[in-house]
Amino acid sequence: MNNEPPGLNSLEVSIFGPGKGESVVVHLGANKWIIVDSCVDASDDTLPAVRYLKSIGVSVENDVLMVLGTHAHDDHIVGISRVLDECKSAFYACSSALVQEDFAAVLEEDLQAELGLRKSSYSEFRKVNDITNERRIAANGKRFMKRAVEDLPLLDLQINSGLCRVTALSPSHEAVTRMIHKLAGANVVIAGKPRRPFRGDPNESSVALWIESLGHRVLLGADLLKGPSGCGWSGILTEFSPVERASLFKVPHHGAPNADEEMVWQKLLIPDPVALLAPYRAGRNPRPNRTDIERISQRTSQAFITASPDVRASRSRVKKQKVAFGNLAMNVRQTGKVGQVRARIQLGESKWNIELLAPAQELSSAGRSTRGRNS
């Protein structure tokens, strides 16, 4: 993969994923970029998206316009405050469900619980809040945070005399309402009573994006689930009907069936679109599994994944910890190396040019190596 930046009239979508986590960068054209979600390279604690942009000569400070955290899951937001900190001109966008009074209370309750402890479930959000606040003060009141909700344009630009628009397709108002109810229920605090941290399902209020630029359309599916009713893909399909369909799709939720809505492929995507995804190897049932791969491969011949979904053999430094745990721990492993799939298309072209940085590969070849796992 070369280090040439995309041309001014070139749309680029790059996805990074180490096996747990994913991050997407999009070149909208004319040196304008957005970053969607964040992951960290465990081998050196760097941010693959930022590292890549710098490697191709992008001025991360000036040319990244938006950083979006699609939802509050660890594998999508780890390191996102560091990404935002690097992208000094960018505003931060997140699900409207997370810009609520009750969510502010969850953040503060979490902080109280963390006093004297080391890890914080919501520290990324608090840091993001602080960064956007500092930017507002430094910019004399200009606001650096946007709430994403269905059918809301997050960015409008003129690129090459054409309109470039980035629109949130979700969360639906129904999904936001459901999250508000859960948050409100979580915030009944009683002195002297131990209680559990808030655990709503952030996938329900994920932010899916529709991007139109340079005559092309892209659908980034976050981890959006099929439903429940009025939410997820079912909510989008009820409200959104594009004039022209997308030619590139970031497959939602690592290819899991609970996010796979067949009508999305029929109504929102062209036949045989480019499909990109990142694996999730951290769970008991890594995704995509063999069935997921077969299903996606039936829908498109152009599916690519940032790394194999197979759990790989332990490396030496993992073995040391494995020994420390003895028989107590099973299947000790690391998430693995970060791969990249880069898709570029020029204004006026009809075919995406795909480049793979190992361990990224075609999904079909990942399917051949995935042994005996079904859903």
Partner 1 sequence: MTTRSNDSQSLQAHDGMAFPSTLPANRKYTEDYTDSIRKRVSERAHSEATESISSSNTTDARELVAGPDRSDTTSESARVEQNPSIEDALSTGFIDVRSAETIQWPIRGAHKWEGRVIEIGDEVFTAELTPLGDGDRSAIIAEFRNGVLNEDGQIQSGDLFYVTEQRVRFRGILTTQYSFRLRISGNWTFKDIQEINERSQRRWAMLQDNVE
- C-beta neighbour count of 371 within 10 angstroms: 7
Instruction: Decide: 35 and 25 in contact? Cβ < 8 Å.
Output: yes
Of residues 89 through 118, those in contact with partner 1 by CB under 8 A are: 91, 99, 101, 104-105, 107-118
Q: Is 81 in the site for partner 1 (CB under 8 A)?
A: no
Specify the residue, 272 or 325, whose C-beta has the smaller distance to partner 1.
325
**Region of residue 57 (phi > 0: left; psi between -120 and 50: alpha; otherwise: beta):** left
Site string for partner 1, 117-156 (x = CB under 8 A): xxx-x-------x--xx--x------xxxxx---------
Site string for partner 1, 225-264 (x = CB under 8 A): ----------------------------------------
Instruction: Find the shortest distance in angstroms from Cβ 135 to partner 1.
Output: 8
Instruction: Decide: 55 and 86 in contact? Cβ < 8 Å.
Output: no
Instruction: Find the shortest distance in angstroms from Cβ 267 to partner 1.
Output: 30
CA 63/CA 161 separation, integer angstroms? 19
DSSP string, 162-174: EEEEEEE----HH
Specify the residue, 92 or 265, whose C-beta has the smaller distance to partner 1.
92
Of residues 191 through 210, those in contact with partner 1 by CB under 8 A are: 191-197, 199
CA 248/CA 281 separation, integer angstroms? 24
Of residues 310 through 339, those in contact with partner 1 by CB under 8 A are: 317-318, 321-322, 324-335
Instruction: Find the shortest distance in angstroms from Cβ 126 to partner 1.
Output: 8
Q: Is 248 helix (H, G, I), strand (E, B) or coil?
A: strand
The answer, yes or no, to whether the previous bond of 279 is cis (omega within 30 of 0) is no
CA 68/CA 74 separation, integer angstroms? 14
CA 148/CA 203 separation, integer angstroms? 14
Q: Which residues bind partner 1 (CB under 8 A)?
A: 20, 42-43, 74, 91, 99, 101, 104-105, 107-119, 121, 129, 132-133, 136, 143-147, 189-197, 199, 281-284, 317-318, 321-322, 324-335
